[in-house]
Amino acid sequence: MKLRVIDDDLFPSTPGKVKIERTHALNRQLHRCFASTSTLFLWALLLVALTASYLSFRSFVATSSRYFTATWGGLHWERQIRSSAAVTRPDGITVLITGAAGFVGSHVSLALRRRGDGVVGLDNFNAYYDPSLKKARKALLDSQGVFVVEGDVNDARLLAKLFDTVPFTHVMHLAAQAGVRYAIENPASYVHSNVAGLVTLLEACKSADPQPSVIWASSSSVYGLNDKVPFSESHRTDRPASLYAATKKAGEEITHVYNHIYGLSITGLRFFTVYGPWGRPDMAYYSFTRNILQGKPINIYRRRDGADLARDFTYIDDIVRGCVAALDTAEASTGSGGKKRRPAQYRICNLGNTSPVTVPALVRILERHLKVKAKKHVLEMPGNGDVPFTHANISSARAELGYKPTTNLDTGLKKFVKWYLSYYGYRLNNKSV
């Protein structure tokens, strides 16, 4: 039998040699075994080394690629940053403004620069609406000495470099994915910009030395399905009607965490339907103007009960004054090295006009200033996240910021139409409608 042959090989029949040869046979088997194991171990070790080398090489290539393709960095870039951040008035502040090439961001940047504050902008120039408008705003900022870095608030390396280059006293965070209806098409963009981007920025702020005071744009959309008017900061905000609103509400909770744990001074501003020159093309007043001038119909939505929609339209200059006042009244953050030393300021304020106007009334004002009759389609409001009305209670902003809006809708739209006609090269006849 095969088993017997194996036994005979291991145990020879000569009595005097059994013990010695048996020992030698076992040693030979053990040597073969260990030799085989060592070889396998060496091959495994070599494989691990090759894998580690490959991964390190890929990481090096990726890092090098990011370095060489980055639109920021270098001595010239740093000089531009420091020049833009230079303060030219006594007791001036140095502000990093995210979303600086946006509607509100560009106006706030100009207001601060004109009074002698240091301003550095950050914007990713995304294509949510025509980037050429953002580039035009950037050109306007460039002409006033405001440098806008092209980058994303989710880029932690870029933010760290900015804070390493300039000791910002304040951050005005206006970068966000805006728009209620677009959230249905691209929900991930709202989480990326309004939640992840906010956290990345706050991480940079809490680690900065010194920690800056943070003022950021929330939204009237957080009031959601609230039916108490006017909307007050003490009202419920736990029933959002859109994903956009939900991300802004999440932002308010997230900023509270960073205030509580790390001592960041936080001011949240709930903007109410901002309009004016250099505005956003996706806003109703802007698209209405475009379509009226081009002879295209406009859609006017009503509630299911037939009531008109209404908004608390707030002119850009009033919003800018509120933003600047929030910067001027913000207390210093109380953290150091990422640790809170004592409680820090936390506040939320409405910035509105306190005078809601219906959408049909808005259209009539535009018709008068454009001298063109609109082609109107009246439709029932779709379930896309829009709310039927907004109305701001601004008593907190008045007390905290000295905020007092002064521009009514007729005056504000007149200024917007003048800018729009000039920017897009229109000429109107003098015939009234």
Which of 322, 320, 334 lies closest to 212 in space, CA to CA? 334
Query: Three-class SS of residue 123?
Result: strand
Q: Which residue type sits at 198?
A: L
The kind and range of the H/E element at 380 are: strand 375-380
Q: How far apart are CA 206 and CA 341, in angstroms?
A: 12
**Contact in structure between 188 and 173 (CB atoms under 8 Å):** no
**Contact in structure between 100 and 121 (CB atoms under 8 Å):** yes
Q: How far apart are CA 233 and CA 401, in angstroms?
A: 15
What one-character-per-residue DSSP string does 217-278 give?
EEEGGGGTT---SSB-TTS-----SSHHHHHHHHHHHHHHHHHHHH---EEEEEE--EESTT
Q: How far apart are CA 311 and CA 222, in angstroms?
A: 14
Which of 157, 240, 138 lies closest to 194 in space, CA to CA? 240
Q: How far apart are CA 392 and CA 349, in angstroms?
A: 10
Catalytic residue among 129, 190, 223, 244: 244
Q: Tokens standing for 394? A: 């601004």
Largest CA distance in the chain: 130
Residue 244 known to be catalytic = yes
Name residues whose C-beta falls within 8 Å of residue 194's C-beta, 6 or more positions apart in sequence: 176, 177, 244, 247, 248, 250, 251
Strand partners, 346: 266
Q: Tokens standing for 205? A: 């702020």
Query: Three-class SS of residue 130?
Result: coil
Q: Which residue type sits at 173?
A: H
* 342 alpha carbon, distance to own chain's centre: 28
Cα angle: 51, vertex 56, 57; to 5 degrees: 100
Q: Which residue type sits at 269?
A: L
> Annotated catalytic sites, by residue?
244
